[in-house]
Amino acid sequence: MSETNSTEVVRAAGVVLLRGTQGRYETLAVHRPHRSDWSLPKGKIDPGEHVISAAIRECDEETGIQAVLGARLPTQNYTALGQSKTVDYWVAHLRSEEEFQPNDEVDELRWVNIQSARHLLTYAHDVTLVEQAATLPPTQPLIILRHTQAVKRSDFDGRHDYDRPINGKGRSQAKSLIPLLDAYGITAVHSSDAQRCTQSVKRFAKSIQVPVIPEASLSEERFLENPKRVASRMRDLASQQQPLVICSHRPVMPTILETVAKTLGDDPSRPYWDPKLSPGSFIVVHRAFAPDGTPRVVSVERHQIDD
């Protein structure tokens, strides 16, 4: 293990794993023999690794559990052994589980109810996170994605701009998106029918064995013809009770995000609804649904490919 400069802030990622139903949740605590403490699954972000991937990887390595990320929790900033740390956390649920193998990092796992967690967990900030996670309602993610980098308009000699493809960097970004989108358990892929959008999500859709559902109203051309159709379609999509990703274009983003915010009863002027997204960047909106199907926002997070 390489030495870390004590003046540097160590970035890490982790999860609060929950199982059961709201009001009767259990959470998973891990015992670290080298610290003699009970904590939550977490670990350092590897160089070049995305924070989302780190959270999934650390959970898997420490517990043998493949997790699906839910709502984002408050980032924790603290000092341990003289080292400043910043840890990003998510609520998480089980996707699959392998038999746990005790190791030097974690030698015991324990599922406990929330009351027991208050006594078992060593650190007060972990207890606070578990309490916050347990109070959140079940959520479904809606991911709004700007297509990956495309061939410049000036370099494209095709007849129609909607045929303009992504370039080499865009293909690399599309590949990088696969584990990031999958981390949220996405099951449906919607996209503007423009080539650069469908190419951005095609590989991901193939990886989860679903089709790319074309959305002509979310293309630049249809948006310019009839912006109201974008708003109408986005109200429908934002109200669908399933984990989905929607890929569109920079000029369409202000209408998309304003509509989603208002549909979920939120203020579109809040910073996390900022429509300025670089190619391949995305916003994850965690939605809860009332018994009558009315959606509301629980948390929103923004990500770039190179986070």
15 shares its domain with 150: no
From CA 147, how far away is CA 254, in angstroms rounded?
Answer: 15
Mean pLDDT (the chain, rounded): 95
Q: Which domain holds residue 94?
A: 10-135
Band of residue 3 on the pLDDT scale cut at 50, 70, 90: very low
Choose the final residue of a domain: 92, 108, 135: 135
What is the per-residue pLDDT across 78-102, written as a single tens digit (0 to 9) for each? 887 788 999 999 999 999 988 899 9
- 204 & 249 share domain: yes
Tens-place pLDDT, residues 32-80: 999 999 999 999 999 999 999 999 999 999 999 999 999 999 999 988 7
Is the torsion defined by CA of 237, 238, 239, 244 positive or negative? positive
Residue 142: predicted pLDDT? 99
Q: Is 74 in the same domain as 159?
A: no
Last residue of a domain, one of 80, 105, 135: 135
Task: Assess whether 46 and 130 both reside in one domain.
Answer: yes
Tokens standing for residue 254? 């202000």
**95 and 147 assigned to the same domain:** no
Q: Are residues 105 and 166 in the same domain?
A: no
The whole-angstrom separation of Cα 140 and Cα 181 is 13
Per-residue confidence band for 5, with pLDDT thresholds at 50, 70 and 90: low
C-alpha dihedral, 137 to 177 to 45 to 47, nearest 10°: -170
Identify the weakest region by mean pLDDT among 119-123, 288-292, 303-307.
303-307
What CATH number has the domain bearing residue 164?
3.40.50.1240
Q: Which of 167, 140, 110, 168 is nearest to 245 (CA)?
A: 140
Instruction: Please report whether residue 22 resides in a domain.
Output: yes
Same domain, 149 and 131: no
Indicate whether 121 and 155 sit together in one domain.
no
User: Which residues make Cβ contacts (< 8 Å) with residue 139, sequence separation at least 6?
Assistant: 70, 71, 91, 286, 287, 288, 298, 299
Regarding whether 293 and 179 lie in a shared domain, the answer is yes
Predicted pLDDT of residue 162: 79
97 and 180 inside one domain? no
pLDDT above 70 coverage of the chain, percent: 97
Residue 2 lies in a domain: no
The span from the CA of 307 to the CA of 298, in Å, is 22
Number of domains in the chain: 2
How many whole angstroms separate alpha carbon 120 and alpha carbon 271? 37
Residue 62 lies in a domain: yes
- Mean pLDDT value across residues 122-147: 98
Return d(Cα 2, Cα 290) in angstroms, integer. 49
pLDDT at 79: 85
Q: Based on the fold, state whether residues 21 and 124 are members of the same structural domain.
A: yes
157-170 pLDDT per residue, tens? 877 877 899 999 99
Question: Are both 75 and 149 inside the same structural domain?
Answer: no
Is residue 58, in this structure, part of any structural domain at all? yes
